[in-house]
Amino acid sequence: MGILNVTPDSFADGGRFVSEGWLDPARAVDAGLEMIAAGADLLDVGGESTRPGATPVAADEERARILRVIAALVKQTDTPVSVDTYKADVAAAALDAGAAIVNDVSGLAGDERMAGVAARHHAALVLMHNRGRSRDMYARAQYAEVVREVAAELSASIAAAEADGVPRERIVVDPGIGFAKHAEDSLRLVARLDDAVFAGLDRPILLGPSRKSFLTLALGDVPPDEREWGTAAAVTAGILAGAHIVRVHGVRAMAQVAKVADALLAARQ
């Protein structure tokens, strides 16, 4: 899954599509098509940074950032497009524009209408584990046993989605690396994706370690654009432990990493 952040302030690539002070949809579309050519099987388009401490964006602004990009992409490729949002109104507009997946970083906690929107549009739904909003998530990063607690809270999100009409087979779960988790928690989750509690969810797992700050626990204080090798290690470990989808910035390199990890997994099995 290639990350296409149409925002000025994302932690790893904010402002990539800003031209003369304005977001440039055409450049974002070109970047998305380049990701597909480089090996992306999915594109995840986001119009609001959800990094810790980020400033929330109004739904109108978020829609303005992403809808032209999504509409153009679905006209030019058959690659499924995902919308990265926790707002039901934004998700509905993106699905109307042609997106096929909703990637909800709040795990349905951000908007009680989200699952209903996904159900009515027959969309796939990614439920990410999180606690709180961007500005207070670390205050809630308190776990006695992070693997079991994350799995239990994801199970509750799955149940809520099903109760609102989303078929279980359309649900993907994401342990939420870096969201309401300290670096040690994120490392433990990547290393233990093969734990029985995740297998018990019986849903595909999306893993998003790309360039995130938990990698600095091993790498030292290096900026996001210097964390690609660390990302490669986390992607490999995640796939070997059971991740089905990896969400990354550097698609060309990580597509190769994923292919080798898949070959290793097949050889082991």
Question: Looking at the annotation, which residues are catalytic?
Answer: 212, 247
Distance CA 104, CA 92 (A): 12
Closest CA to 127 of 83, 91, 171: 171
- For 212, the token pair is 């995130």
Closest CA to 84 of 132, 59, 49, 40: 49
Q: What is the dihedral of CA 100, 164, 153, 251, to 10 degrees?
A: 0
- For 209, the token pair is 């370690």
- Report which secondary-structure segment, H or E, holds 116: helix 114-120
- For 155, the token pair is 């199970």
Backbone angles phi, psi at 159, to 5 degrees: -60, -40
Distance CA 177, CA 157 (A): 17
Distance CA 136, CA 131 (A): 8
Distance CA 139, CA 130 (A): 12
Residue 80 C-beta-side C-alpha neighbours within 13 Å: 12
Within 10 A of 58 (CB to CB), how many other CB atoms are there? Answer: 11
